[in-house]
Amino acid sequence: MPIKTSPLAPSKLAVLPPIEGVRLGAAAAGIKYAGRTDLMAMVFDAQAAVAGVLTRSLCPSAPVDWCRANLPGGQARILVVNSGNANAFTGRKGADATALTAEMAAAVIGCPVSEVFLSSTGVIGEPLEAKKFDGVLQEVVHDANPDRWEDAARAIMTTDTFPKLATRTAEIDGVTVALNGIAKGSGMIAPDMATMLAYIVTDAPLSAAALQTLLTRHVDATFNAITVDSDTSTSDTVLAFATGAADVAAIKTAGDSRLAAFEAAFKDLMEDLALQIVRDGEGASKLMRIEVTGAQSDASARTIALAIANSPLVKTALAGGDANWGRIVMAVGKAGEPADRDRLAIRFGDLAAATDGERAPGYDEGAMSAYMKQDEITIGVDIGLGEGRFTAWGCDLTKDYVTINGDYRS
């Protein structure tokens, strides 16, 4: 089935500038489809600091296990990512495939396997033939250059309809540093740490500890705040790398006062990538922003917001352009968090739908219908009990989602 580009895709792709100390390459290894670019390598000219957050799924992929074992070392020389096969639920064969891939990558670069990081994405349960990387991986590394960010982003796509790219700059001690990021994800998106695959690189001289603190600090409000279909992947991985090539004194802790502008740019880039994933939700035609306020705590607000975002009834109403606020009430009630029916207020954009536990006075169906035709919809829910707040993002549920997933393994 031909893949149509999501109607929510950016009008143009971000152009990522080179970052000193990192080169990228991509090629076709024939993992699932002949002639399709499905192997990417990110090569660091010297040891780069690395940090990561990984899926909390209790059925993680073999590459997730590999990254989890190597992250405490805090150093990276190469990242290798394949699409077409998730190398998940593949038993001993999966572990052997990651080890073989790492050994090949380490030999090409001339580094220990502890400085090799791996990700795989695609079908679960199919053994990965890592021998297919032999020769191709050497070619990818040899041909890597600083300008191939879009090629790398395309190589890791599965059901994605567009590559996800983002770039930012910030100043540290008067020196401009760069941040680039790529990501993939379209379905099986309900992160429980981060989402699908995302990689961020900066030339700022951050230690692995400082990078880890920043990444962990901002995951919940970005990658953990999105959902497409309520399903947490076995392969969710977000890795951040710092080459340290910028002419700035080393930053050892995230509490360094010089990091203020960098941290803001870092979080903004993470949010940009996360929202691109929602915009490419399988079959999506509308982006949904859920703003929950007045909950007893931020954690309670998060649970309620995601209950709304994950509700098939809310998502299908959105697809049909129906401001069915009764389904919002349902989702709040089922979330299992403190709520008072008679204090609840619901709005779509700036239009009040319900207040004080009933339909809002002056409710205008015509105005509401007109608002629901937009491709970006904000749903505001005030619980009326406290100061807790959380914003989540999701998308609608269309017939195309069923078609895409019904044919996924064929």
As annotated, the active-site residues are 195
| Secondary element (H or E) of residue 299 | helix 298-310
228, 278 Cβ separation under 8 angstroms:
yes
| b/e 35-49 (16+ beta carbons within 10 angstroms → b) | ebbbbbbbbbeebbb
HEC readout, 189-219: CCCCCCCCEEEEEECCCECHHHHHHHHHHHH
**What tokens does 333 get?**
């009630």
Binding residues: 158, 184, 195, 282, 405, 410
What is the residue-wise DSSP string for 310-340?
Answer: H-HHHHHHHHTT---HHHHHHHHHHT-S---
Do residues 392 and 227 touch, judged by C-beta distance below 8 A?
yes
Largest CA distance in the chain: 70
* Strand ranges for 256-359 from DSSP E: 287-295, 345-348, 351-355, 358-359
Can you say which residues are annotated as belonging to the binding site for substrate? 158, 184, 195, 282, 405, 410
Cα separation, 212 vs 363, in Å, equals 48
